[in-house]
Structure 1
């Protein structure tokens, strides 16, 4: 498990995992996640070596960041969208039932249109660097109906509803699973 410690050392120090609350752990990881030395964490080989609780924190922070910056379409077409299935599973684990169902519905819309997040990412990667374009220009206007449907479903996400906060679920989940995480890192 020392491999875990080496991977997460730039995200959060082990002693902070031991003594801090779930909220403090999430805040510390959020502060460090986008530092250059942590860019490798979302590479698949590295990401799946992270303890599941850390992966879940990273996925929720990435989801929230993308939704706030670029909305659901930005989430789906950026590298974060490549982890759509993992993000859905995380929402289920943290018991964010409404958002779990919403992302499952969005995944279903993509599948009905034979579109994967990898397809969307490939289209983005094929753009001229630093070009500014609309979703339709990047991916094709044939997806306009799909985009409308996804946007309508996404309007029900936590970000647009004051009645729930995704981080409340995440904090409770981290508080509940913190001891197992620390124990796993110490073995």
Structure 2
């Protein structure tokens, strides 16, 4: 039995009980006014129930995080930045991510060691945190000194995926997969 059927059953039961309490007895003699009153009550309960369900959906959407990637690549200054941005109105909490390459899962340290093999660079790899509404979390930020190494690093990042798992304040868990290249 679905929720709307339960609401209708509850409405009919309440009308029947109200009739008994008020002292009116229901006879098998059905009047048109009784049918109209019962129908109006059922319709009222149905629309009230639908309104509550609609309000619940609106509330849940109003506190929902919307996580998307933001990548900036400056080929002239050899700068790369990968961010996760929360475009939603709710916080993304319990944020965890896995870095997956063709060889399998990479830890933060493994990724850092692989990237540093490409040459001299300034490198920062972000930690797992929550993301509040309308804010971002830097995952990978790097600046290199030459174009050849920078091009090779961007190619390598194309072979990596970021698997992100997070939840909202209502414990609505979401999983997303992002490519690290534009």
TM-score of the superposition, structure 2-length normalised?
A: 0.28
TM-score of the superposition, structure 1-length normalised?
A: 0.27
Structure with the higher helix share, 1 or 2: 1
Flag the structure with more relative contact order, 1 or 2, with Cα contacts below 8 A and sequence separation at least 6.
1
Structure with the higher strand share, 1 or 2: 2
